[in-house]
Amino acid sequence: MSVTSRYRDAWEGFWREAPEEAGGVFWDADPAVTAARHLAFFEPRLVDPGLPLIDLGCGNGTQTRFLADRFPHVIGVDLAAAALDHARRTDPAGQASYRQLDAAGKGESEALHAELGDANVYMRGVLHQCEPGDRQPLVDGIAALLGDRGRAFLVELSEAARPVLGNLAQSSDGPPPKLAPVLRHGIAPGEVADDAVPVYLGAAGLTVLASGDLPLTTTEFLPDGTRIELPSKWFLAGRTV
């Protein structure tokens, strides 16, 4: 395994305490304002939409279930078993399948690729939550999942999100209620430089085929009722012949 026990335990603890209701987690926004917006940039650029689609870092499966309505074979994967327990409980019809995966762990992504073949990957806000030493191994794992024909769509907080989060965390009234448990469990987002993501992808043998800016929508609101959206960047990547 690549991840530290502290990091794994933090996620297990967070998901064991996370509420069951829709929107109860800071980043668990309705797919209409998350995955649906991303699909407009992702789906038309897929080489083969019929490949398995892996929702990497699926959490409680909100986006996974949405994607399972649109693709024939969707697998939600997550580091935390407690997250997958949530996902399975909220998907009693089994729209998607779920499994535990340390994508930064040497060999785990290769083993899944050997089982599934080439796959497309959707990943929202995972890289910036990784410890620095796991970021390149994570992207290497994504490259292994893609194989030759798969495409990855990654959405990550931009550098401009850090002061926004800092202001929320240090508010005189305390952090917003749904952000507080994230910080309490030691899952405070780390900073990933905007120009670092293409470097990670390139080192994994992938090419950035398209990119752009798109807010990462949360489930929290400011006191004036404005929904909190964090500046983010998206990248579409894959192997080129």
Q: What sign for the dihedral angle of Cα 66, 67, 72, 78?
A: negative
What is the share, in percent, of the chain residues with pLDDT greater than 90? 60
User: Which has the minimum average pLDDT: 49-58, 137-146, 188-197?
Assistant: 188-197
d(CA 170, CA 175): 6
d(CA 155, CA 172): 30
**What pLDDT score was predicted for residue 186?**
76
pLDDT band at 4 (very low <50, low <70, confident <90, very high): low
pTM across the whole model: 0.93
pLDDT band at 187 (very low <50, low <70, confident <90, very high): confident
**What pLDDT score was predicted for residue 184?**
80
User: Which has the minimum average pLDDT: 36-40, 67-71, 166-170?
Assistant: 166-170
**What pLDDT score was predicted for residue 98?**
98
**What pLDDT score was predicted for residue 159?**
86
Residue with the bigger pLDDT between 188 and 156: it is 156
Write b or e for each residue in 114-125: b if 16 or more Cβ atoms lie within 10 A of its Cβ, otherwise e. eebebbbbbbbb
Residue with the bigger pLDDT between 181 and 117: it is 117
Name the average pLDDT for the chain.
Answer: 90
Contacts of 13 by beta carbon, 8 Å cutoff, 6+ apart: 82, 185
Asked if the model's pLDDT at residue 2 lies above 60, the reply is no
**What pLDDT score was predicted for residue 1?**
43
d(CA 114, CA 145): 9
Asked if the model's pLDDT at residue 6 lies above 80, the reply is no
| H helix intervals, the chain | 5-17, 35-42, 62-68, 81-89, 108-116, 132-146, 161-169, 180-184, 196-203
pLDDT band at 113 (very low <50, low <70, confident <90, very high): very high
Determine the average pLDDT of the residues in 127-132: 85
**What pLDDT score was predicted for residue 101?**
95
Return the closest-CA partner of residue 10 out of 121, 130, 109: 130
User: Which has the minimum average pLDDT: 61-65, 86-90, 153-157, 217-221?
Assistant: 217-221
Digit-coded pLDDT (tens) for 10-37:
889 988 988 888 888 888 899 999 999 9
pLDDT band at 222 (very low <50, low <70, confident <90, very high): confident
Return the closest-CA partner of residue 220 out of 175, 176, 180: 176
d(CA 196, CA 114): 29
